[in-house]
Amino acid sequence: MTTPSIGGALRQAGIDFYFNSIRFAGANLVWGLALLVVLFLAVAWLPAVALAVLLAAPVAGMHRMAALLVRGEPASFSDFVEGTRRFGVHATGIAAAAVVLGAILATNVSIGFTSDGPLGWFLGASALYGLVALVMYLVALWPVLVDPSHDGVRLRRRLQIAGLVVIARPGRLFVVTALIVVILAVSTVLLAGIVLFGVAYSSLFASRWVLPTADAIEARYEAARAR
């Protein structure tokens, strides 16, 4: 399978969402309601903001539906529920680790760029690159994590595959990641957008680009090993 174009992945994600809008909008709504609950609890008690990592579970469920469509299988709302249940623990753990690492990198960015010397600037720039790489890795990881074609593959191997996508296609993955950030930002400004379609469409877009790309990279890797 060849690496798809980014524009092609965007178009196919739109087609997927159009023909499966009720399922994906419903799943996105569940995520949106969970987000509102977390925000309400955080307003009442600030440490409750840590519960935001639990939102990764329904994100995994949406990516599961998207991955099924990419693999040519039908996707139903029950697949969202099953994906959330099945991959929720792993997704939450990954989200928690990403939050901790992201906080460390963001702190280093702030310290580095507010310092007065080149060493501090280097630290800040390195941390900024690390922060961007982390977000790119997460974009690559979610589809691979829930991919039905990798159901029998250990978690460690799926984490490695996502890393290979980052290493092998950094430029294109950066563009995909930037587009997803823009989609989520715009849908957040339009509050109904983030609640009804922003996350769902992003999961479709990421899956449509990442999974064929991962397949192509794995095929080349296996071919190289066979020589």
Neighbours of 131 (CB within 10 A): 17
In this prediction the pTM is 0.95
* Separation CA 168–CA 189 (nearest Å): 33
Task: Give the separation between CA 188 and CA 209, rounded to whole angstroms.
Answer: 23
- What does the alpha-carbon distance between residue 182 and residue 205 come to, in Å, rounded to a whole number? 13
Domain ranges of the chain: 6-220
How does pLDDT run across 32-57, given as a tens digit for each residue?
999 999 999 999 999 999 999 999 99
User: Looking at residue 1, what is its pLDDT?
Assistant: 56
Question: What are 144-159's pLDDT values in tens digits?
Answer: 999 999 999 999 999 9
10-residue mean pLDDT profile of the chain (227 residues): values are 87 97 97 96 96 98 98 97 98 98 96 89 95 98 98 96 97 98 93 89 98 94 77
DSSP character string of 140-189: HHHHHHH-GGGTTS-HHHHHHHHHHHHHHSHHHHHHHHHHHHHHHHHHHH
Distance CA 84, CA 62 (A): 8
